A and B are shown apart, each in its own frame.
Chain A
Amino acid sequence: MKYLDEYRDSSLARPLVEALKTSVTKPLRIMEVCGSHTMAIFRNGIRSILPRGMELISGPGCPVCVTSSAHMDAFISMADEPGVRLAIFGDLFRVPGSNGSLAEASSRGAKVNIVYSPMDGLEIARKNPDEHVVFLGVGFETTTPTIAATILAAKNQQITNFTVFSTQKTMLPPMRALLDDPNLKIDGLICPGHVSSIIGSSVWEPLADEYGLACVVGGFETADLLKSLILLARQVGEGRPRVENVYPRAVSPEGNLRARQMVEEIFEPADMEWRGLGILPGSGLKIRDKYCEFDAESRFDIRLQAVEEPKGCKCGEILKGICSPRECPLFDSRCTPANPIGPCMVSSEGTCAAYYKYGRE
């Protein structure tokens, strides 16, 4: 596969591993923001070859993991509504709310379809005019443009039995919230590649300037990740934090302008609850009033209920990078991928799932 195989080649990777060793001149803590990076780092065995002094911490970049229990409960109660069919991304299926999961709702007879694109949800609505199809919008900037495009398509096709329940989130507000927390001490950031392909690499510049944080936008293959770590180590070593981009084949400084315009047309910033981080002002995206006929929350008058997070679950601290999954008392005992207590274990991009799948001793 062009653009993939050449970044996985061991003949390319080995010299980069050597270069990484010589680049680390002082202890440094790097956060990978994105869940796909967390998985790729484990899958490629990169944790096992990190030079002494370099530590990797997983950040809040898994959209399923940061979906609040209150939202999960609202999703599940929607699924139980007669005449409603949910269209969801697969990761969400087994995530527990305060009382069960969508998988359990499905086993009770709720109609839940796993789809691969929001457009699939629209197609289901078109084929089932007697039902109301709700697509659960759970994601970051990467998935928002396709949801916006789907809402535009629904409007153009005059499909009236389709809505979106948007818990779409943006990445900059939580990063600022984390960096303002004195408990989190990090020197550098592997900025999310997929998100940056939409919003551009330049959006991370304020973090480098204001927090003195080394930032590198990275791809997801072995060579991408190793290059990101080398540049971060060099930035820290030189004491010259800035934004560098080792993923130019997908990310430009300004991002995807067309996608951003479409998102701007459909969505507006809103306060949003993040699991583990609480309500962050302006960190979510709600559907504008102009398109309220496609907004499940206003159409069904959904009110979120306050929910206590599961006792003992440290997903909140794990999402903040303050605690490692192995420090959670539930990890690999009561909480496993087969029986997840917290969302970090259930999502395929989740930190706990990554540690469980690849990182157990």
Chain B
Amino acid sequence: MSEKTILLDHGSGGLASQKLISDLFLKHLDNPILRSLEDSAILENQPGRLAFTTDSYVVDPIFFPGGDIGKLAVHGTINDLAMRGAKPLCLSLGLILEEGFSLNDLELIIVSISKACNEADVPVVTGDTKVVPRGKGDKIFINTSGIGFVATDISISSQHAKEGDKVILSGTMGDHGITIMTRQAGISVQGNLQSDTMPLHRLVEKLLKELPRDVHTLRDPTRGGVASTLNEIAENSGLCIELSDEALPVRPEVAAACELLGLEPLYLANEGKCLAIVSPEKAEQALEIMHGTPEGADAVIIGTLTATGSSRVIINTPVGGTRVVSPLHGEPLPRIC
């Protein structure tokens, strides 16, 4: 392509749009369903129940250590399906581009989407592109929807969490959130801060294959972090969640950056972690299964569901005290001193 930036013409539906589709999108995302370029994708009938989800991605910066907005969109939607026990089947890709956006950067993002889709074995089967005038958008926004299928014997919901169940976190907290925030702040921290973005459907598949009845709830703690997600589970289950402060896994470099900015890892977004609520009898087995996967190598049991008190989350602290963990209110903002 000779053009270097996105023009309003690229969203016109005319020749420039067609060229963008054939020279960029089909070049990297090609598959028989997408290639047909029909108004909608026809999917062959699958066994089980349908799961359907959608999410929009407006992250800034669009490229960050460990990923980019495209990879995030693919993983985020796959994970939303996986958290209901669904096997992801396919994705849609809606792009809103700002006039003047670099075509090179767009290609980098599409290549990243292609790589993420191939690695996860979940194709993009339909898409759309719009271009908005310069100043009316912010480089690129992505919407992805996803369809998956849930086997008939699987029923995952935060309402299914039971008293005595264990809370397993599949890895360290806050890696994605702090990477983005330190980038936004222009702060460089010693160590290797990078986003944890990754698809979790294979980990979930293994877990549910071995323990279809004992995994009661799955949630990915994205925006609002582990604190907000656990509060939702407590609210939906009507139970109290008791966490052990010392069990909460945080990488040293993430903890250091949080100290610097006055943030708590519990409230930071994660893009490649899940919380699994598992029956107490099978919690250790679930942990072993997770440890046997690259996605869950650092998984730990962080707490227990109890019927004591109201629907809330508390932490048992190293001094033998307790404190309440509230859900996030507003965006996390850095402190003044």
A interface residues, Cβ below 8 angstroms from B? 1, 4, 8-10, 13-14, 16-17, 36, 42-49, 63-64, 89-94, 114, 116, 120, 138-140, 142-143, 194, 222, 226, 336-338, 347-349, 356-360
Contact = CB atoms under 8 A, between A and B. Distances in A.
B209 interface: no
A16 B335 CA distance: 29
Given A1-B259, A116-B261, A120-B186, A91 B333 contact: yes
B323 interface: yes
B330 interface: yes
Given A1-B255, A10-B318, A116-B185, A45 B323 contact: yes
Contact of A90 (B187, B256, B333): B333
Contacts, number: 111
B1 interface: no
A326 B323 CA distance: 16
Given A9-B318, A44-B317, A116-B185, A348 B335 contact: yes
Contact of A360 (B264, B320, B324): B324
B334 A116 contact: yes
A45 B321 contact: yes
B329 A338 contact: yes
B319 A1 contact: no
B259 A44 contact: no
Interface residues of B, number: 30
B334 A90 contact: yes
B337 A1 contact: no
B336 interface: yes
Contacts of A140: 337
Contacts of B255: 1, 4
A92 B333 CA distance: 9
Contacts of B330: 94, 337-338
Contacts of B261: 116
B337 A46 contact: no
A17 B321 CA distance: 10
Nearest to B315: A45
A142 B322 CA distance: 30
A46 B324 contact: no
Contacts of A226: 319
A1 B321 contact: no
Contact of B336 (A42, A47, A143, A222): A143
Contacts of A49: 319-321
Contacts of A45: 245, 315-317, 319-323
Q: Which of B261, B262, B264, B315 has the most CB of A within 10 A?
A: B262
B48 interface: no
A191 B173 CA distance: 33
Given A43-B264, A48-B322, A348-B335, 7 more contacts: A8-B318, A45-B321, A91-B334, A94-B333, A338-B330, A348-B262, A357-B324
Nearest to A220: B259
